[in-house]
Chains A and B, each alone.
Chain A
Amino acid sequence: MAKVDIGKKILSANETYALRNRELLARHKRPCFNIISSPGSGKTTILVRTISDLADRVRIGVIEGDIQTDIDAERIRATKAPAVQINTEGACHLSAAQVNHALDKLPLERLDIVFIENVGNLVCPSAFELGENGKVVVLSVAEGDDKPVKYPAIFAKSKVLLVNKIDLLAGGAQVDFDLDRVRADARRLNKGIEIFPVSAKTGEGMQNWYDWLTDQIH
């Protein structure tokens, strides 16, 4: 025996769990979105504001991924929404198996939407399917407008791009950020991507995101 053709997917163990998660969420008819960004772009702030603003219409549950601490889950629970914290203990991304165990702890029957907030990292999380219905990439204006070109994978794979902290662009000169460049670069990689400029702090632009989100509920 020498060379043997194998042709097996290397991440098949992760994909098995991702499929299980997808089936579980589909059975409950719960849309699920995997939020990915660099650390500090405002993922949790966007979630907290979204949960609060939609509190009387949409029931949201959150799976929080962080290397350590449950600071983010606590921020979500302060809104009264259920949150399950996953600590990856050093790993740079969430795996579908971790999400599978976390989904067991969420009251899916009493939710309309599930969010997975991935570990803050613009690269690794994009390579691991979790069973979500779509990825939402968050880019804050302070990070710079070259990110879609420098980190194309996540922009090519996402359904939605939230350009956050646009309040920093008001009044000029605080941050150099060309929104049109980001739009053009992201759309070049991904024709169908929805782009919503928002400020989770002031609420500006959030309504467009809410309209898209509520359209996803079955």
Chain B
Amino acid sequence: MHETALAQGLIEVISQEAEKRHAKPIRAKISCGQLNIVNDEVLSFAFEAATQGTRCEGMKLQIEHKALQAECLACNQTFAVDLAGVRCPSCGAENFRLLPDAPLLLEEIEFEEGVDDGEG
């Protein structure tokens, strides 16, 4: 349920951007890595609930998951890792090093065209 905290963080950042532009946000795209452990359904629900009564109410949320990358220590190939059962797809070795996970990022916001939300 840390998705509630993520939803609140997300609304804060979107609200700041909307305020700067005096525009109404209607859609946001975020991306996250595997180690952020984000469940789409839970985050979407938390976001919907937390946006009630804010300038983000009614926004659509698009969530993109970025694969965790690993470097094979046997053949040096970089590959997308599935943590449930990992081996290098090139050489089959189980000896690898995880590369840094993608951060939780607000990638883009779509604002309503030509409308000033009057709150800025």
A-side contacts of B12, CB under 8 Å: 13
Q: Could you give, for residues 85-110 of chain B, a 1 whenever the CB lies within 8 Å of some chain A CB and a 0 otherwise?
A: 01000000010111000011111111
Decide if B6 touches A189 in the complex (CB within 8 Å). Answer: no
Partner of B108, one of A6, A95, A123, A153: A6
Partner of A3, one of B86, B96, B109, B114: B109
B-side contacts of A191, CB under 8 Å: 97
Knowing A93-B2, A188-B86, the reply to whether A10 touches B105 (Cβ < 8 A) is yes
CB distance from A88 to the nearest CB of B (A): 10
B34 in contact (CB, < 8 A): yes
B-side contacts of A2, CB under 8 Å: 110-111, 113
Q: Could you give, for residues 177-193 of chain A, a 1 whenever the CB lies within 8 Å of some chain B CB and a 0 otherwise?
A: 00000000000111100
Closest chain A residue to B2 by CB distance?
Answer: A124
Decide if B98 touches A156 in the complex (CB within 8 Å). Answer: yes
Closest chain B residue to A3 by CB distance?
Answer: B110
CB distance from B101 to the nearest CB of A (A): 8
Q: Could you give, for residues 87-113 of chain A, a 1 whenever the CB lies within 8 Å of some chain B CB and a 0 otherwise?
A: 000011101000000000000000000
Decide if A91 touches B5 in the complex (CB within 8 Å). Answer: yes
What number of residue pairs across chains A and B have CB atoms under 8 A from each other?
Answer: 94
CB distance from B113 to the nearest CB of A (A): 6
Partner of A153, one of B13, B37, B104, B106: B37
Closest chain A residue to B98 by CB distance?
Answer: A156
A-side contacts of B96, CB under 8 Å: 188
**What total of chain B residues lie within 8 Å of the partner, measured CB to CB?**
35
Closest chain B residue to A152 by CB distance?
Answer: B83
Partner of A127, one of B36, B94, B114: B36
Decide if B108 touches A10 in the complex (CB within 8 Å). Answer: no
B-side contacts of A127, CB under 8 Å: 2, 6, 35-37
Decide if A92 touches B2 in the complex (CB within 8 Å). Answer: yes
Decide if A10 touches B6 in the complex (CB within 8 Å). Answer: yes
> Which of B2, B4, B17 is most buried by chain A, counting CB atoms within 10 A of its CB?
B2
CB distance from A97 to the nearest CB of B (A): 11
A157 in contact (CB, < 8 A): yes
Decide if B108 touches A92 in the complex (CB within 8 Å). Answer: no
B21 in contact (CB, < 8 A): yes
Partner of B83, one of A5, A12, A189: A189
Decide if A1 touches B21 in the complex (CB within 8 Å). Answer: yes
B-side contacts of A9, CB under 8 Å: 103-106
In angstroms, Cα B103 to Cα A14, docked, is 13
Decide if B9 touches A10 in the complex (CB within 8 Å). Answer: yes
CB distance from B117 to the nearest CB of A (A): 12
Knowing A5-B107, A9-B103, A11-B9, the reply to whether A92 touches B1 (Cβ < 8 A) is yes
Closest 5 pairs between A and B when the two form their complex, measured CB to CB: A124-B2, A152-B83, A10-B104, A153-B35, A10-B9
13 A-B pairs, CB-CB below 8 angstroms?
A: A1-B21, A2-B110, A2-B113, A3-B108, A6-B109, A8-B106, A9-B103, A11-B103, A92-B1, A127-B6, A149-B84, A153-B35, A153-B37
Given contacts A3-B108, A124-B1, A124-B2, 6 further A-B contacts (CB under 8 A): A3-B110, A6-B17, A11-B103, A91-B4, A156-B83, A157-B35
